[in-house]
Amino acid sequence: MMRCAIALLVLLSGLFGAPALAANAVPTAQDPVAQSRAVKLSEQLRCLVCQNQTIAESNADLALDLRQQIREQIAAGKSDEEIIQYMVNRYGDFVLYKPPFKATTLLLWLGPALLLVGGVLVLVRVLRARNAAAEPAALSAEERERAARLLAGDTPKETT
């Protein structure tokens, strides 16, 4: 939906905007290549406010600012890698929608699996404890003999 709106804006600005000269090539909404780069980069970065959306999808003020920073850096002639590195240096690996697998992001990558394994272990332990409590305890030979006498009506002999 957002891409359609951007494409429509590019088309309308191309129809009604001033003609661009090659010497003045500045990435703007009229430059579809720069706009495509900006969208591609925005899809790789996480919104630090929403956290479950890319900055391309988010309408948070910070996401708007980050998209503007991307456009400014594209206009300054920086490569995609330089722009991504700038964002990582400024906001950390968390800004990447798909952070790299390294020591500092180990918990981020393995956390869900560890929680799942922990949950399964707790479930198994609870189920085993429940089954152990439901099973009757085995009687010793003495206890069986005493129970048989009680059921037969014999009174136990008391020893002193």
CATH code for the domain in which residue 32 is found: 1.10.8.640
Tokens of 6: 């951007």
Whether 89 and 117 share a structural domain: no
Distance between CA atoms of 101 and 89, rounded to whole angstroms? 17
Is the pLDDT confidence value at 8 over 80? Answer: no
For residues 151 and 3, which has the higher predicted lDDT (pLDDT)? 151
Residue 22 pLDDT greater than 50, yes or no: no
157 found inside a domain = no
- Based on the fold, state whether residues 25 and 95 are members of the same structural domain: yes
Higher pLDDT pick, 40 / 101 = 40
CB 87 within 8 A of CB 95: yes
Q: What percent of the chain has pLDDT over 70?
A: 78
In a domain, 8, yes or no: yes
Range of the domain at 114: 104-152
Provide the number of structural domains found in the chain: 2
Contact in structure between 55 and 63 (CB atoms under 8 Å): yes
How does pLDDT run across 62-95, given as a tens digit for each residue?
Answer: 999 999 999 999 999 999 999 999 999 998 888 8
DSSP letter at 52 equals S
pTM of the model: 0.52
Residues 59 and 113 in one domain: no
Q: Are residues 18 and 63 in the same domain?
A: yes
